[in-house]
A = this chain, B = another copy of it.
């Protein structure tokens, strides 16, 4: 059967599938000659030539010069083809409670520029310290994004897609924040509308835990794992869930969001855990049980360091402090029976200390418990996932132009 006959059968679908095969080969292997592409894709040489012509015309490939060495003596010269990773860019944004992160990446997902803007807490009147929210926070996001794009030398119109992660429930269809207990000022705000002036015409909006699990599956601890949960113990505790390789968003996009679980006293994010460690540590130090530590001004980090050094009292304090988060992880493991649970967010940094007690808790409560690992991406998990999310959106769009060429 000739390639022409196959095209005739379902031309659009086949052209896309063939183009995808060629793009995938070039993205993963770097520049290749047509003969190498034929070998890798198992497409015929005329098909590869036709696909290459289409993709060159669309601007997704470039000819990086005739291949060195002897080309065939007849017919076309051996072209060396390369994926144009700089034919466009994507932007990932993570709007955290205390930090805004922005990264610009090329079409291979390589970060070209990245910025992080800490949001210092400040007191208003006699209340607790607050961090900026609402329009003030959005302005910081815009400024950080603009600065990162400038660092990368990338203009708004070169951004093929941006993905913005935020705590809370996001309406992925409209780009609106459904709710976010962390940033009351952002509730009902449409992040797409607010940010497309800076980030280009395609702004995706997604829950940060969902982005974190995409990040872990792409470059983190969950590579190759089909059933994984990424628990983001950052400001609060939430989970991104992948079942059978597919992100579980839930009926209204709220899967893994546990804003009310506080009422069950079993959910604390990193801040709750740090608070417990500091409080219990201060009590222990005051009672003279935490050797070498004063009660006054004791920080959670010092207790974690003591636990890491083997101090039994510090170890017990860490265990008690992570127990509540452990219960939430136990519940999720029972409901979903995942292969792997990744601990991401702020707690990941203390992974060596907190993982062991969490593991014991899982083993005591869950039959066939999942593996438990700390994120290798740490606080960057959602940002890396945002890049992956934007790339996932761009890749089918790359081929949309195929219908128009030839």
Contact = CB atoms under 8 A, between A and B. Distances in A.
Contacts of A337: 249-257
Contacts of A261: 331, 334
B336 A257 contact: no
Interface stretch (A91-99, A107-115, A197-205, A237-245): A237-245
Contacts of A331: 261, 331, 335
Interface string A294-313: 00000000000000000000
A227 interface: yes
Nearest to A169: B367
Nearest to A229: B335
A196 B263 CA distance: 49
A252 B179 contact: no
Contacts of A258: 334-335
User: Which of the four size classes fits the interface of chain A?
Assistant: 35 or more
B257 A338 contact: no
Given A9-B9, A244-B246, A365-B263, A334 B251 contact: no
Given A264-B327, A370-B251, A241 B365 contact: no
B367 A250 contact: no
Interface string A317-341: 0000000000100011011111100
Nearest to A14: B9
Contacts of A6: 9
B327 A367 contact: no
Nearest to A368: B252
Contacts of A172: none
A248 B243 contact: yes
A1 interface: yes
A365 B334 contact: no
Given A260-B365, A370-B251, A335 B338 contact: no
Contacts of A64: none
A170 to B, nearest CB: 12
Identify which of A1, A6, A8, A365 gathers the most chain B CB atoms within 10 Å of its CB: A365
A259 interface: yes
Contact of A367 (B246, B249, B259): B259
Nearest to A259: B367
A367 B248 CA distance: 17
Contacts of A29: none
Nearest to A181: B367
Contacts of A334: 254, 256-258, 260-261
A1 B258 CA distance: 55
A338 B260 contact: no
A39 interface: no
Given A244-B246, A334-B260, A368 B254 contact: yes
Contact of A335 (B9, B227, B241): B241
Interface in A247-282: 248-261, 263-264
Given A255-B335, A261-B334, 10 more contacts: A5-B9, A9-B10, A169-B367, A178-B368, A179-B367, A251-B339, A253-B337, A254-B334, A256-B334, A258-B335
Interface of A: 1, 5-6, 8-10, 169, 178-179, 226-227, 239, 241, 243-244, 246, 248-261, 263-264, 327, 331-332, 334-339, 365-368, 370
User: What are the nearest 4 A-B pairs in CB distance?
Assistant: A250-B337, A251-B339, A9-B9, A254-B337
